[in-house]
Structure 1
Amino acid sequence: MALYVTKSSGSLFNNLFGSNAKQVAAMTDFDMLQLTRSGLPKHLLLSLAKRISLTIQEFADIMHISERTLQRYDDNAIIKTEYAEKAVELARLYTRGEEVFGSLDKFKTWMKTPLHVFKGETPVSLLDSSVGFDMVFKELGRIEHGIFA
């Protein structure tokens, strides 16, 4: 029997969720699964949005929650599992983008640039669905390997 333990990227929460997430910086993937199942506090979600330069409206659209509903939550209120899961996916995407582009700022600029490969849409506008996330991840893979459309 083999034991496999994978560590989440140390920078996943430290760099994107900021100093509010020190307690989860060294979590395993299974720990992260448990965390998303239990939900994340609103202040952690908003910290992520700020770190990746999304407006509250853009963030709410990605999360499939109204901006007003998001604002009604207390800062320490635990937000539902599906929103926590989307936030973790955002963190993974932006961590991957930072790796590919060599800089989070360069990746954030790319995310807000209309691209031919996405029929003139910005990559960030695709993040309201899992298919859109997949398209952006695939494009990052092509960029990493020098395959441009």
Structure 2
Amino acid sequence: MYSSGSLTPLQLIDRSRQGLSGTETGRVAELLGVTDKEMARLLNQSVATFHRQVKILQLDAATSERLLLLTRLATYGSTVFQDKGKFTRWLRRPLRLLSDRSPLDLLDSSTGVQLVEDILGRIEYGVFS
């Protein structure tokens, strides 16, 4: 197991290139409180492909990077909200700031992950509007 929250950007790249175990997909889904279907969408995969990936010993770099970024986001969100449940409920809540889309709707792209991390930073420092 790893903690992507403590990885530097270069370490994250190196770890992505090494490839994570397929079992990490289920662990990250649990951290985010999402279903297999939702997790497959976040990884830009079909549900069938997602289920096959769980059995793979070493995931490709792109999937590994996405899992590391999502782990970092989940860790940060749970810290900001001081509760995993509050964070996972917030992920599903439509936000005016996101044109009434939920943060979860944006996590299928690295730009969306960054945007959600930025919003969490605003919440953490009390400047969320």
Q: What aligned pairs does 1:80-95 form with structure 2 within 5 A after superposition? A: 80-95=60-75
Q: Write out the 4+ residue segments of structure 1 that deviate beyond 6 Å after TM superposition.
A: none
| Matching residue within 90, 95, 98 for 1:110 | 90
**Percentage of identical aligned residues:** 30
| TM-score with structure 2 setting the length | 0.86
| Matching residue within 16, 36, 41 for 1:61 | 41
How many residues in Structure 1 have an aligned counterpart in Structure 2? Answer: 127
Q: What aligned pairs does 1:1-149 form with structure 2 within 5 A after superposition? A: 21=1, 24=2, 29=8, 31-73=11-53, 75-149=55-129
Give the drift of 1:135.
1.3
Give the drift of 1:61.
1.0
Structure 1 or 2, whichever has the larger Rg, is 1
* CA shift digits 1:50-98 (9 cap, x unpaired): 2321111111111112111121246243111100100000011111111
RMSD value over aligned CA atoms?
2.1
- The higher-RCO structure (CA 8 Å, 6+ apart) is 2
SS in structure 2 opposite 1:78? coil
Unaligned runs of 5+ in 1: 1-20
Unaligned runs of 5+ in 2: none
Give the drift of 1:111.
0.5
SS in structure 2 opposite 1:107? helix
| TM-score with structure 1 setting the length | 0.75
